[in-house]
Amino acid sequence: MLNISNNSISDHVELKDFKSHQLLLRNKITRLSVWFIVLLITLIVISPFLPWTQNILTKGYVTTRSPQQRPQAIQAVIPGRLEKWYVQEGDYVNSGDTIVYMTEVKSEYLDPNLIDRTSEQVNAKALSIDAYSNKITALNKQYDALEDGLRLKLLQTKNKVSQGYNKIKIDSIDLAAVENNYEITKNQLLRVKELYGKGLKSLTELQEKEYKLQAELAKVNIQKNKLINQKNELHNLQLELLTVEREYADKLSKSLSDKQSAISSKMEGVAEVSKLKNQLSNYTERKKFYYVTAPQSGYITKTIKKGLGETIKEGTDIAIIVPSTYDIALELYVKPQDIPLLEFGNRVNIRFDGWPAIVMSGWPEAAVGVFEGKIVAIDRFISENGNYRILVSPLNGKKPWPTKLSIGTGAQAFIFLNQVPLWYELWRQLNGFPPDFYKDKDEKNENVKRKAPIKSIK
């Protein structure tokens, strides 16, 4: 029926009551079913040959690659007693801000004037060192004076010895002269006796010659005694020379010994002063540790030690600080059978908790709302959970990761590998084989080694 009239009969005639209309409608449904079946068969035949990107599905959480940017515990360097807290959980602190104040608990550090008393000990020891220095200077002068005295005494004694030799020579000459006079007088006496016997000389002259001979003999004896005395005096001077050397050698040795003792005492004093200065420095530095400060800027997320008056040991965790700025990364864990397939630079699609996304695991191009990254680190040892840890960093030039991500946020990641036909992936999944990691013989397998950057030392 041609629809050329404005008057419709649909309100008066029910088409479904006519058999011809029912036959036409059934024929239309049959043709649609045939087309649907043909389309379905076509999809079933074509779909196994569609490309499929192999991937490894894993989970992890947000972290940072830099150790100094991770949450860290603020520890007590020394044992002490908690006296006052300066922060609350959730507070933002700058680097160097005071977290808590502690007091001393060890008996050897309880003296409030410990630093002053140690300083007094250092000053007293320093003065004793000065005294020993003055003593060493005095002993040096004493030693020099003794050496000068030894030289003068030796010179004086040697002069006396030389004079003794000269006196002995003079006395020897005088003795020879006296002996010569004695011989002359003796010869004269003999001639006078001969003349006296002949009557040519008187008795008086003979007696005078005998007296003169006795006088000359006395002179000879006196001169001999004088020469002997002079020789004895020379011998005594030689002995005195040896005595002077030994006497001054003892004095010089004693002075040198006193000097070495003073030097030794001074060195002991220097060592003691160094030890006391070391203690003073330790006490001064220890006093700084009474105030536990923030190692870097960040947020105090948890206070582990809470009560005032609580005694803690050195190395005890006091609070947890989370850095305010950090470069985020993703920490993932993969199964041991998948670790040989991974390489540095593998592309990763990421879905963070709290950020909605639609992920097509085999067709990454069709994913919506995901973020991209690349593998930058692969552990060479297994973790406690039985898997291997890898680190993923944001991929440059792609969609930036959310700035509101916090460390510890969960994430689901798809690590993309090779591209294979869909039928191969179905066959692999049914057989439980790992993703295909076999390579062509001509393809070189280069192991990429990661090295930390070398910083120049200035």
Q: Is residue 280 part of a domain?
A: no
Q: Are residues 374 and 399 in the same domain?
A: yes
Do 119 and 186 lie in one domain? The reply is yes
Q: In this structure, are 124 and 211 located in the same domain? A: yes
Segment 55-67 shows an average pLDDT of 83
For residues 426 and 363, membership in a common domain is answered with yes
Q: What is the pLDDT of residues 331-381, one digit of tens each?
A: 999 888 777 778 888 888 888 887 776 665 545 555 566 888 888 988 888
Residue 38 lies in a domain: no
Could you report the per-residue pLDDT of 115-126, keeping only the tens digit for each?
888 888 888 888
Q: How confident is the model at residue 248 (pLDDT cuts 50, 70, 90)?
A: confident
Question: Which residues make Cβ contacts (< 8 Å) with residue 82, sequence separation at least 6?
Answer: 100, 101, 102, 305, 307, 308, 309, 310, 311, 312
* pLDDT at residue 50, rounded to an integer: 66
**Residues 64 and 75 both lie in one domain:** no
Q: Which long-range contacts (CB under 8 A, 24 or more apart) does 242-251 make?
A: 244/150, 244/153, 244/154, 244/157, 245/150, 245/154, 248/146, 248/149, 248/150, 248/153, 251/146
Residues 222 and 140 in one domain: yes
Output the pLDDT for position 30. 57
Tell me what the pLDDT averaged over the chain comes to: 78
Same domain flag for 224 and 147:
yes
In a domain, 145, yes or no: yes
Residue 441 lies in a domain: no
Amino acid (one-letter) located at 188:
Q
Q: Which domain-ending residue is among 216, 239, 262?
A: 239
pLDDT at residue number 381: 85
Residue 63 φ then ψ, to 5°: -145, -165
Q: Are residues 226 and 127 in the same domain?
A: yes
| CATH at 351 | 2.40.30.170
CA distance 54 to 38: 30
| Residues 97, 120 within the same domain | no
At 177-217, the pLDDT tens digits run: 888 888 888 887 788 788 777 777 777 877 887 888 888 88
Distances (CA, A) of 170 to 157, 175, 390, 395: 20, 9, 115, 119
Q: Are 164 and 230 in contact (CB under 8 A)?
A: yes
The structure's pTM equals 0.55
Rounded distance, CA 336 to CA 55, Å?
A: 15
Examine the domain organization and report whether 307 and 391 are in the same domain: no
Task: Give me the CATH number covering residue 86.
Answer: 2.40.50.100
312 and 357 co-located in one domain: no
In a domain, 1, yes or no: no
Same domain, yes or no, for 182 and 233? yes
Q: Do 99 and 319 touch, CB atoms closer than 8 A?
A: yes
Q: Which of 219, 239, 259 is the last residue in one of the domains?
A: 239
**221 domain residue, yes or no:** yes
In the chain, the number of structural domains is 3
Within a domain: residue 26?
Answer: no
**Residue ranges making up the domain that contains 356:** 50-68+326-431
pLDDT of residue 457: 36
pLDDT digits (tens, 9 = 90+) for 187-196: 877 887 887 7
Distance in angstroms (rounded) separating the CA atoms of residues 402 and 373: 13
Q: What is the mean pLDDT of residues 265-287?
A: 88
